[in-house]
Amino acid sequence: MIKKKLISNKTWMQIHLYVSLFFIPMALIYAITGSFHIFGVRQNAGAEIVEVKVESPIIKGEEQRIILETLKKNHLKIPQNTDLRFFRNSYSMGNLKYSVTLSKDKAGNPIVRSVERGWYGVLLMLHKAAGKWYFDILAVG
């Protein structure tokens, strides 16, 4: 009795080729950003960072309003995503390219810090799994 293959070897080779062509750029990006990170080039290298002291006291539940008012008052860009997230003792909004955080400086004074990263910074943040879940799937691939 002869069994018939459902998918030929030629088809498997074509599938392998297309999948490889898709993932080679991802592998190169991970290799390059990982190498630079090992040598101390972090995600904020070349980023435009602005820190502004907050004059008003931080009232619980008013963090988003305080951030937005501070940005407007100092003529800074407002992030596209203004949903507030709490992470590592600071409130943040924005995305990997442009983010704003409300935290405290070393003296304990509240500050608003905006960070606008370049391409390398964004790619390194994706390398470190700081992006959305679908980038993590690509990383595992």
Is the pLDDT at 140 greater than 80? The verdict is no
Q: What is the mean predicted confidence (pLDDT) over 36-45?
A: 94
Q: What is the mean predicted confidence (pLDDT) over 41-67?
A: 92
Is the pLDDT at 15 greater than 70? The verdict is yes
Is the pLDDT at 1 greater than 70? The verdict is no
Q: What is the mean predicted confidence (pLDDT) over 76-97?
A: 94
pLDDT reported for residue 108: 87
pLDDT reported for residue 16: 87
The residue to which tokens 């700081």 are assigned: 130
pLDDT reported for residue 10: 86
Tokens of 22: 């898709």
Please report, for the chain, the start and end positions of each structural domain, with discontinuous segments joined by +.
9-41+120-140, 48-116
pLDDT reported for residue 129: 86
Q: Is residue 77 a contact partner of residue 114, using CB atoms and an 8 Å limit? A: yes
The answer to whether the predicted template modeling score (pTM) of the entire model surpasses 0.85 is no
Cα–Cα distance, 72 to 88 (Å, whole number):
25
What is the overall mean pLDDT for the chain? Answer: 90
Is the pLDDT at 55 greater than 80? The verdict is yes
Give 56 or 64, the one with higher predicted confidence.
64
**Residue pLDDT, tens place only, 104-120:** 988 889 999 999 999 99
Q: What share of the chain is helix, strand, coil (3-state, %, to 5)?
A: 40, 20, 40
Q: What is the mean predicted confidence (pLDDT) over 57-68?
A: 91
